[in-house]
Amino acid sequence: METAPHAYFFGYGSLVNRGTHDFTAAHPARLKGWRRRWRPTNLREVAFLSVVEDTGTIIDGLIAPVPDADWHALDLREGAYDRVPAEHMVEHPLPHRPQIAVYAVPGYGARTAMEERGHHLLLSYIDVVIQGYLREFGPAGAQHFFDTTDGWEVDVIDDRAAPRYPRACTLTQGETDVVDAGLASLPVRMKRA
């Protein structure tokens, strides 16, 4: 008899798009007390999607088993992030109570101005994330992503025609329309690639 995995991580960005990974045992879940924020680091010009503590917010995402229960390997893969224990903050459909962590860019409680550092967002990455939210949580889930994510006051590089994001996905016209409408309601500055 196979035992259930006891180590999971909560994904709130590209992991929500099942077309970007092979975590077949991923499940919809909700993280209480955190919201998403675009965070710059000195590792690259493109900002990372991260989470910051916010007691009044709940975000949707997926939980997935840590491959081979090897936290060290996952920590290396998520090298720009700190692993934060979160099992007491995650609502999920699993019948058991596994260990769950969320990854956050260090300094996740601080506010920074990405535009002052020259950081930007890639439209191809935003496309992937919103497609995932649409497919997992529907239009309301995609809108909730926009509503519970901070740091939009920055340039978005329109690389849709020649994606720079390594796990870029092709969107339907309807999905593209949702992304474009969502961004149009935010203080982003669209720039050509």
Across-strand partners of 103? Answer: 83
Predicted local confidence at residue 80, as pLDDT? 81
State how far the Cα of 37 lies from the Cα of 45, in Å rounded to an integer.
Answer: 16
Burial class (CB in 10 A: 0-12, 13-18, 19+), 168: buried
Span 42-56, pLDDT tens digits: 777 888 899 999 999
Q: How confident is the model at residue 30 (pLDDT cuts 50, 70, 90)?
A: very high
Looking at residue 134, the DSSP 8-state letter turns out to be H
**Cα separation, 20 vs 130, whole angstroms:** 12
Tens digits of residue pLDDT in 60-108? 999 999 988 889 988 888 888 899 999 999 999 999 999 999 999 887 4
Q: Say what the pLDDT of residue 23 is.
A: 83
From residue 4, alpha-carbon distances to 8, 70, 71, 92, 101 in Å are 11, 15, 16, 14, 17
Burial profile 22-54: b = 16 or more Cβ within 10 angstroms, e = fewer: ebeebeebebeebbbbbbbbeeeebbbbbbbeb
Query: Would the pLDDT of 9 be above 90?
Result: yes
Give pLDDT, residue 118: 65
pLDDT at res. 1: 43
d(CA 125, CA 26): 20
Q: How far is CA 179 from CA 24, 48, 146, in A?
A: 26, 18, 9
State if pTM tops 0.95.
Answer: no
Select the more confidently predicted residue: 13 or 109: 13
pLDDT surpassing 60 at residue 113: no
- Averaged pLDDT of the chain: 90
